[in-house]
Amino acid sequence: MYDSQTRSKHMRLIDKTYRALFKQDKLYEELNRKYFKRYYKGKPTKRYLRIQQLLKEGEGISVEDFEQLLVMR
């Protein structure tokens, strides 16, 4: 059984919606790793683009929205 199968539908929605907010510190650490490549042959790497997208999503989430979702059931 997968971990996500044991969670309620509400918790899976929270995880999906606020994944970037929960993992922002880890994403910033990954960006600042010693050998992390942002570009290869002048193009941004897929990993770098994915991290940038998740960070942008995390910045768009307000604390009030998060609290409101936790209260909603």
In tens, the pLDDT along 12-48 reads 887 877 777 778 888 999 999 999 999 999 999 999 9
Q: Give the global pTM.
A: 0.64
Cα Rg of the chain, angstroms: 15
| H or E segment and range at residue 16 | helix 9-17
Task: Classify 5 as helix, strand or coil.
Answer: helix
The pLDDT of residue 5 is above 70: yes
CB atoms within 10 A of CB 51: 20
